[in-house]
Amino acid sequence: MARRRQRQPEETRRKLVEATVCLVIDQGFNATSIDQICAAADVTKGSFFHHFPNKDAIGEAAIMWWSEMGTNLYAEAWKDSKSDPLEQLHAMLDIMDSFTRREGEACRCLIGMMSQELAETHPDIRESCARELTVWTDNVARLLREAKKTHIVKRDFDPEQVAWFLNSLWQGSMLIAKNRLSPEMIRDNLRIGREYVDSLFE
């Protein structure tokens, strides 16, 4: 008697989400179909609908996956809570720089791409992207607030405003670099952003 194939729902869900991330990064959300996701994940369409009611639902799951992955990578910069907060921010910028140097990989952000493509047509996805963009900004603003406590400030600034500026610099640089095929431009902009932050302090 043939053995029944063991069900692994968590593994199936993970494969579907990771396949969605890869497809959306390569071709965008609207161009990605459920059939393509199932083929890339090597699962049936029935399995897809067991985990997700529609494509928007797996899009939101992909956003959460990407955010958790990114936050874990950035957390390396502030793992030592006793270190200089400005140095922690420098380390975060170095991590961002490293993303531009991966062999054979364009530097892209799934959340930024989906924000640009879907914000006006998919309100639930827009809110999910906004939430995760705020997580990034809040982490940078926290480091800037702590830096104001430990360094002499040359000119006063709003940490949240500067954090949103850096987020915009990061997302905008990836967008333009994608068009110009120039990861070097991202690195140049990160260097300018770092110099700007340093100019706020003695």
Q: What is the pLDDT of residues 77-127, one digit of tens each?
A: 999 888 999 999 999 999 999 999 998 888 999 999 999 999 999 999 999
Give 37's contacts (C-beta < 8 A, 6+ positions apart).
16, 19, 20, 23, 48, 58
Answer whether residue 58 shows pLDDT above 50.
Answer: yes
Among 157, 158, 180, 161, which Cα is nearest to 169's?
161
The rounded mean pLDDT for the chain is: 93
- CATH value of 60-199 in 3.40.50.80, 2.60.40.420, 1.10.10.10, 1.10.357.10: 1.10.357.10
Extents of the domains making up the chain? 60-199
**pTM of the predicted protein model:** 0.90
